[in-house]
């Protein structure tokens, strides 16, 4: 907490829960249990947001991170390494020293930020951080509209790249045979099944 | 006054709430109930949901039996009315088996996650105007981000299902879990997109504000028929009801994610599923069918308009209608195949919801008259009918090709 800000009982509870679940995420040997700890961590973060009058961001935190992203994590853990979820071996052993340096650097930045933080005299009216307030801020033409569009475009490129990575031969076959540019990709067995299915 | 009111709270759950005299005078000031009253209302909601769950199992079995021309459970008590009690005693007293290879902690945690997060959403749904509940508000909590809250909690609730499947350490359970997580990713998008249409049109995420908007402008189903249809379908998928009940497909996966569960833990999963169903049946009318208000054309009739304007009554009527609709669908349709569900979620649900959302956003942004949306809704209904009629045609020759019928 910064200068001039009172630390309440619930701040301490939230801090203990956040750090505790964070340690669990890293230290638990079982990947699925670590994911459960991650959900708990996200829920506590959402509660902290609610305490900071940012209810919209809190709900987005649960929907996007607690819901969609951890669902994907669990899906991948169960699908790819269901048998290996419990081995608890360190898959990337060389990472501990760089991680320690990173953590110390982050701690230094946080300590600097907390000791030098000056609360604004009149905080901006958030009104619960509702979309009616956030929307014009984010999407106003003189604000962050173009930055958001650029980020969206980047994500679209990443999605297309993922499709290319997953099915390279389906997309590159027509370019490998310039003699037959009009010939599209061969129907895969999946496509034939679709036709039969109808 | 207040102590007297508490004593008068009926102990029969939701059915008892029908007897409460409505408060027609609406106070304009924003009221916040004291914390003890919120606690009592939360208890009433949970108690009512559990009672409703117990009797929904009976009602569903009786209605399905009627659809399939048989009797259904009718032995325990008069007309089988005590069947839920017998089921409860049975499921509590049965042996609770935990597989030796199961992850004990997660195995125990999963049904709890399911039920806890299933119960959390119902308290947001308004059952009447302000101060209609003995001078208090007829909802547990009134959130300005209500719809987002419902969406968030229902997403977390799914963790119960696929943690259960993983913790059981069984092939069938894991397959059920994987199906449920893959299905979740594919239809939640359509669900969220179809929810955005009423939010953008009304301009609020608050359920109370949406109900009030419908009181002045007319029911949202008139303007947003496609969003309504998509939302109903996605709600069925969310509650894992029969056309979409792949996570627990009995014929393929024994019981899916709950194969290894027995006794009260299994009953908790059933409880969560029915509570999701009840919540969806209350949420759909709140969003699209005027909420707790009675249908507008009935208010014009003097006697009926005055006497049957109880807010609770109309909410319960609408909930019952949708519960029956969901059971009816279960008795009518087949389960989708897995690839059909995927193609439906990504290929139909999401694009249609996205297109409709863009149309609604354009109407709101350019301040076009609302009647355009009503006309477009009617057009979409006509278009869908034409699609169904034309889509049914290719099956006609197949029918004549049966041996002994054609040629």
This complex has an ipTM of 0.75
**Can you give the pLDDT at residue B146?**
83
Q: Which CA distances in Å does B234 have to A96, B121, B141, B190?
A: 45, 17, 25, 7
Q: Per the domain annotation, does A37 fall within a domain?
A: yes
Tokens 């029911």 -> residue: B219
Q: What count of CB pairs under 8 Å joins A to B?
A: 82
Region B21-29 average pLDDT: 30
- Pairwise CB contact (< 8 Å): B156 & A66: yes
Q: Among B40-44, B279-283, B374-378, name the most confident range.
A: B279-283
Could you tell me the two tokens for B46? 């949970």
Measured in whole angstroms, the distance separating CA A54 from the mean position of its chain's CA atoms is 18
Region B16-35 average pLDDT: 40
Cα separation of the two ends of chain A: 63
Between B272 and B310, residue with greater pLDDT: B272
**Can you give the pLDDT at residue A76?**
79
Closest by Cβ to A32, choosing from B106, B151, B184: B106
Confidence of residue B43 (pLDDT cuts 50, 70, 90): confident
**Can you give the pLDDT at residue B314?**
80
Give contacts of B 77-136 with A, CB under 8 A: 103, 105-106, 109
Q: Nearest chain A residue to B206 by CA: give it.
A: A130
Residue A194: is its pLDDT beyond 60? no
The C-alpha of B236 sits at a distance from chain A's nearest C-alpha, in angstroms, of: 19
Region A20-28 average pLDDT: 87
B178 CB neighbours in chain A (<8 A) are: 75, 78-79
Q: Which CA distances in Å does A87 have to A30, A83, B77, B106?
A: 7, 9, 53, 17
The C-alpha of B213 sits at a distance from chain A's nearest C-alpha, in angstroms, of: 17
Closest by Cβ to B145, choosing from A55, A70, A82: A55
Q: Per the domain annotation, does A79 fall within a domain?
A: yes
Region B95-117 average pLDDT: 85
pTM of the model: 0.77
Give me the CATH number covering residue A58.
1.20.120.1200
Q: Does B252 touch chain A (CB under 8 A)?
A: no
Output the average pLDDT for chain B: 77
Confidence of residue A153 (pLDDT cuts 50, 70, 90): very high
**Can you give the pLDDT at residue A1?**
42
The C-alpha of A94 sits at a distance from chain B's nearest C-alpha, in angstroms, of: 30
Q: Per the domain annotation, does A150 fall within a domain?
A: no
Q: Per the domain annotation, does A120 fall within a domain?
A: no
Q: Are B45 and B123 in contact (CB under 8 A)?
A: yes
pLDDT digits (tens, 9 = 90+) for B302-354: 666 566 667 777 888 888 999 999 989 888 887 877 778 888 888 888 888 89
Region A158-167 average pLDDT: 81
B182 CB neighbours in chain A (<8 A) are: 75
**Can you give the pLDDT at residue B309?**
63
Dihedral over Cα of B328, B334, B338, B342: its sign:
negative
Tokens 């953008």 -> residue: B200
**Can you give the pLDDT at residue A127?**
62
Region A98-123 average pLDDT: 85
**Can you give the pLDDT at residue B6?**
33
pLDDT digits (tens, 9 = 90+) for B142-165: 777 888 888 888 888 888 888 888
**Can you give the pLDDT at residue A108?**
94
Confidence of residue B11 (pLDDT cuts 50, 70, 90): very low
Residue A179: is its pLDDT beyond 60? no
Q: Per the domain annotation, does A22 fall within a domain?
A: yes
Region B106-135 average pLDDT: 82
**Percent above pLDDT 90 for chain B:** 0
Q: Per the domain annotation, does A75 fall within a domain?
A: yes
- Pairwise CB contact (< 8 Å): A130 & B144: yes
The C-alpha of B189 sits at a distance from chain A's nearest C-alpha, in angstroms, of: 10
**Can you give the pLDDT at residue A170?**
63
Confidence of residue A182 (pLDDT cuts 50, 70, 90): very low
Q: Among A107-111, A113-117, B18-22, B314-318, name the most confident range.
A: A107-111
Q: Are B127 and B20 in contact (CB under 8 A)?
A: no
Q: Per the domain annotation, does A35 fall within a domain?
A: yes
Top residue of B156, B202, B206 to mutate, by most chain A CBs within 10 Å, is: B156
**Can you give the pLDDT at residue A172?**
59
Residue B397: is its pLDDT beyond 50? no
**Can you give the pLDDT at residue A101?**
93
Dihedral over Cα of A164, A170, A176, A180: its sign:
negative
Region B38-53 average pLDDT: 85
CA distance B194 to B316: 24
Q: Does B149 touch chain A (CB under 8 A)?
A: yes
Q: Are B153 and A50 in contact (CB under 8 A)?
A: no
pLDDT digits (tens, 9 = 90+) for A133-144: 777 777 777 777
The C-alpha of A6 sits at a distance from chain B's nearest C-alpha, in angstroms, of: 25
Residue B184's nearest CA partner among B324, B349, B331, B329 is B349
Confidence of residue B393 (pLDDT cuts 50, 70, 90): low
**Can you give the pLDDT at residue B221?**
83
**Can you give the pLDDT at residue B10?**
33
Residue B106's nearest CA partner among B272, B267, B265 is B265
Residue A85: is its pLDDT beyond 60? no
B165 CB neighbours in chain A (<8 A) are: 78
Confidence of residue A88 (pLDDT cuts 50, 70, 90): low
**Percent above pLDDT 70 for chain B:** 83
Tokens 């195949």 -> residue: B337
- Pairwise CB contact (< 8 Å): B205 & A131: yes
Confidence of residue B299 (pLDDT cuts 50, 70, 90): low
**Can you give the pLDDT at residue A128?**
59
Closest by Cβ to A55, choosing from B144, B158, B167: B144
- Pairwise CB contact (< 8 Å): A75 & B174: no
Q: Per the domain annotation, does A64 fall within a domain?
A: yes
- Pairwise CB contact (< 8 Å): A68 & B185: yes
Instruction: Point out the least confidently predicted range of A146-155, B29-38, B232-241.
Output: B29-38
- Pairwise CB contact (< 8 Å): B106 & A33: yes
CA distance B159 to B116: 11
Please give the tally of structural domains in chain A.
1
- Pairwise CB contact (< 8 Å): B205 & A68: no
Residue A36's domain comprises: 7-86
Between A6 and B170, residue with greater pLDDT: B170
Instruction: Point out the least confidently predicted range of B34-38, B148-152, B338-342, B403-407.
Output: B403-407
Residue A125: is its pLDDT beyond 70? no
């Amino acid at each position: 907490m910064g200068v001039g800000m009172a630390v309440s009982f619930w701040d301490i509870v939230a801090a203990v829960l956040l750090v505790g679940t964070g340690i669990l995420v890293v230290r638990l040997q079982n990947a699925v249990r670590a994911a459960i700890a991650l959900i708990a961590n996200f829920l506590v973060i959402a509660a902290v947001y609610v305490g900071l009058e940012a209810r919209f961001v809190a709900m987005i935190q649960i929907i996007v991170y607690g819901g969609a992203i951890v669902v994907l994590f669990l899906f991948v853990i169960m699908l790819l390494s269901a048998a290996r979820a419990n081995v608890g071996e360190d898959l990337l052993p060389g990472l501990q020293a760089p991680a320690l340096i990173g953590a110390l650097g982050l701690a230094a930045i946080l300590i600097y930020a907390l000791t030098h933080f000056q609360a604004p005299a009149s905080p901006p009216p958030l009104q619960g951080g509702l979309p009616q307030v956030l929307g014009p801020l984010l999407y106003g033409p003189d604000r962050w509209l173009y930055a958001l569009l650029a980020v969206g475009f980047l994500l679209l490129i990443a999605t297309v790249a993922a499709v290319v990575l997953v099915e390279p031969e389906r997309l590159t076959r027509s370019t490998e045979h310039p003699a037959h540019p009009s010939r599209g990709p061969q129907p895969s067995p999946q496509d034939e099944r679709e036709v039969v299915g109808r | 006054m207040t102590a007297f009111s508490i004593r008068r709270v009926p102990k029969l759950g939701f059915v008892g709430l029908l007897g409460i005299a409505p408060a027609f005078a609406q106070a304009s000031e924003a009221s916040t109930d004291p914390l003890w009253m919120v606690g009592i209302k939360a208890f009433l909601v949970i108690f009512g949901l559990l009672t409703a769950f117990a009797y929904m199992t009976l009602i569903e079995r009786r209605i399905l039996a009627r659809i399939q021309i048989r009797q259904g459970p009718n032995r325990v008590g008069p007309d089988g009315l005590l069947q839920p009690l017998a089921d409860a005693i049975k499921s509590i007293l049965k042996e609770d088996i935990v597989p030796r290879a199961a992850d004990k902690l997660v195995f125990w945690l999963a049904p709890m996650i399911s039920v806890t997060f299933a119960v959390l959403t119902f308290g947001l749904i308004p059952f009447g105007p302000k101060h209609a509940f003995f001078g208090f508000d007829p909802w547990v909590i009134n959130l300005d981000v209500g719809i987002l809250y419902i969406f968030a909690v229902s997403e977390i609730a799914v963790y119960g299902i696929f943690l259960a499947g993983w913790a059981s350490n069984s092939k069938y359970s894991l397959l059920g879990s994987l199906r449920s997580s893959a299905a979740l990713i594919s239809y939640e998008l359509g669900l969220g997109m179809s929810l955005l249409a009423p939010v953008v049109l009304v301009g609020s995420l608050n359920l109370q504000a949406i109900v009030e908007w419908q009181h002045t402008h007319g029911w949202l189903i008139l303007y947003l028929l496609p969003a309504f249809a998509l939302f109903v379908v996605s709600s069925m998928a969310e509650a894992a009801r029969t056309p979409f009940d792949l996570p627990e497909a009995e014929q393929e996966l024994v019981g899916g994610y709950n194969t290894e569960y027995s006794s009260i833990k299994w009953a908790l999963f059933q409880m969560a599923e029915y509570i999701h169903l009840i919540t969806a049946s209350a949420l759909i009318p709140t969003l699209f069918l005027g909420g707790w208000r009675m249908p507008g054309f009935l208010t014009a009739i003097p006697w009926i308009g005055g006497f049957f304007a109880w807010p609770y009554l109309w909410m319960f009527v609408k909930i019952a209608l949708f519960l029956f609709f969901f059971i009816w669908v279960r008795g009518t349709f087949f389960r989708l195949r897995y690839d059909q569900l995927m193609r439906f979620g990504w290929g139909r649900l999401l694009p249609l919801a996205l297109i409709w959302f863009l149309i609604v956003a354009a109407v709101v942004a350019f301040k076009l008259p609302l009647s355009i949306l009503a006309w477009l809704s009617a057009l979409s209904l006509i278009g869908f009918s034409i699609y169904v009629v034309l889509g049914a045609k290719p099956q006609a020759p197949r029918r004549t090709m049966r041996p002994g019928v054609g040629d």
